[in-house]
Each structure stands twice: as C-alpha cells, then as structure tokens.
Amino acid sequence: MDVVCLGILIADIFASPIPRLPEAGELALVDRYLMSAGGCAVNTAACLRRLGRKVAVIGKTGQDLLGDFVVKDLTRLGIDASGVRRSAVHATSLTYILNVKGQDRRYLHAVGANSDFSLTDVDLSMLSRARVLYVGGYLVMPRWEPDDLASLFREAKRQGLMTVLDVVIGAGSPASLASIEPVLPYTDLFLPNNDEAQTLTGRDDPLSQAEILSRLNPSCTIAITLGREGVLVRSKDRVFRAGAYAVESVDESGAGDAFAAGFIIGLIEQWPLEQTLRFASAVGASCTRALGCTEGVLHFDAALAFVAQNPLKIARLG
C-alpha cells in the first residue's frame, strides 16, 4: 500500500454546466448528470489510482443505498475500502454540484455520516502497510478534535509514514490556528487553499499566511493553492510561487484534491520541489477537463509528458 486516505466520504451528483440558473418554477435542462463517490479522501485516492498507486480509504458512510454505492464505487476504482465503516445513526453524506458557465460552482451538501466519524473508527493497523497518510476534510468532521488528529499523526510518524493534511472550512466556521496547532508539528505537507489559510491566519496575503503557518512547524511544507492563479509553496527556507497550466476547463470540482495527489507522488518519488510542483499542477489542471473529480485526471506517463511539453513559470521568492 502506497497511501492511506482518511477523511470525508460523500456521494456526489454533478450537473453538467448550464448557461444560467433557472428562475423560480422554471425547468432547466442539463446535458448530463454524473454520480460518483467523492469527498477529499475518495477524490485524492481515485487520482492516486489513476497515477498508478495502491491506495486505501478510511471513512464512514450510512447503512443505506448511497453508502452501498460509495463502497461499490471505491471497489470499481481499485481502492481498498476495508477501512470504511457504516453509521447506524446517519445517512451517507451527499453533495449536489451545480455548474453554471463562467461562474464558480454551487453546492448543496448534507454532512450525514461524516458527523459520526471519529478516531475510534480507524484501524491503526492499516498504517503499517502504507508509506503516506493523507487526511482530507479535517474541520468538517465534527467528532475529530485537534488532539485526536495529532494522536493519529504522531502514531503515523512513529511508524515511519509521511503525513499530509488538507482541510475544509465552511462559511462562518470558527476555525483558527488553534484548530491545527497540535497537528502541524507532526505534518510533513499542509495543503490549504487561500481562503482556508486566510481563515486560519487572519491574513490575506499567501506569503504572510505561509510564514505564520510555518511557525507551527518549520520543517512542514506549506502549499497554499490559489485556483487559477497557481500556488505558493514554503518549504523550510525556500518559497516558490508557481503559475497554473491553461487547459479548457469544464468543471473545477476536485482540482485541489488532484493537486494533492500529484504532490504526494512527488513525495513518494523524492523529486525536487520544483519538479513536484510542476507535476502536481499538471494533475490538478487536468482534473478540470471533465465533469466530476477524476474523469479528466491524467495518468502517470501522460502527466509526465504534459509537464515535459508545457512550461510552467516558477519563481523563487526572497
């Protein structure tokens, strides 16, 4: 096993892009619907599978048809689902994703069984088979306290794994540095987006955000994704600002998770940081070429070829 991906599990329903939102009472037609297993843990795991890695998922669904679907979809994707638990209290989490041409996505979301997922659901023996532990969706898993995640990461580091943390912060969330302060000392790679980093640090500028976050663990690589503006990465005493690859975008859902998968590949391969940045950026950009979170993601050799054929500007900042 290369990577264990732990976090939120969701049944996703995507609508293909429409020209505008319908008026009240109006019926709007879409070209296509897509239903797939989703959530940070699943999306990152599915991208890693497309990149040729062996992965397992740990999370929780309900004991319902959607839960059955999520587990079956994981199996279809070649992902080890033995770490998925089933809640007897909550239904499977569901997100409806509405795409409007020229606008950012809109979401309707039910937290569902992710609110019932806790450290007690984790089979720690799964870590012994892996090289990397990725946690995605932290801060929207209500039963995970900072000390719980710190305990898990501490155990992962004891077993020699690299640790990767991604967060999701909802609108109006009270998240702050205290939410991650116990965790970052055991984190090798932290992957917030600009909005999440702003909530955590209270700063607008990615460079200032990275500086504040790095104080919690100077050895942790901080990668702040900026959407179509690229990414800023701080790794020890080095700071890089990379642009973004231009592709014909259909749906930007899951691009951050795909970027995370690409970065994890760089960690496993022990590539130089700039090479990892180019590869992760290519994988993230490729995700947006198709509806859903994984259908457009390049396979490993195709991603390498894309990077070789398409230059990406990376500047080292003072």
Q: pLDDT tens-digit profile of 234-254?
A: 998 899 999 999 888 887 888
pLDDT at 204: 94
Please spell the DSSP secondary structure of 213-274, one letter per residue.
HHTT-TTSEEEEE-GGG-EEEEETTEEEEE-------S--TTHHHHHHHHHHHHHHHT--HH
3-state SS assignment for residue 14? strand
pLDDT at 228: 87
Q: How confident is the model at residue 72 (pLDDT cuts 50, 70, 90)?
A: very high
pLDDT at 294: 86
Q: How far apart are CA 252 and CA 289, in angstroms?
A: 8
pLDDT at 99: 87
Q: How confident is the model at residue 293 (pLDDT cuts 50, 70, 90)?
A: confident
Residue 172 confidence (pLDDT) above 80 = no
Mean pLDDT of 205-212: 96
The radius of gyration computed from the CA coordinates of the chain, to the nearest angstrom, equals 18
The tokens describing 313, both together, are 């500007």
Q: pLDDT tens-digit profile of 81-100?
A: 999 999 999 999 999 989 89
Q: How far apart are CA 226 and CA 229, in angstroms?
A: 5
pLDDT at 252: 83
Domains and CATH numbers, the chain: 3-21+31-317 (3.40.1190.20)
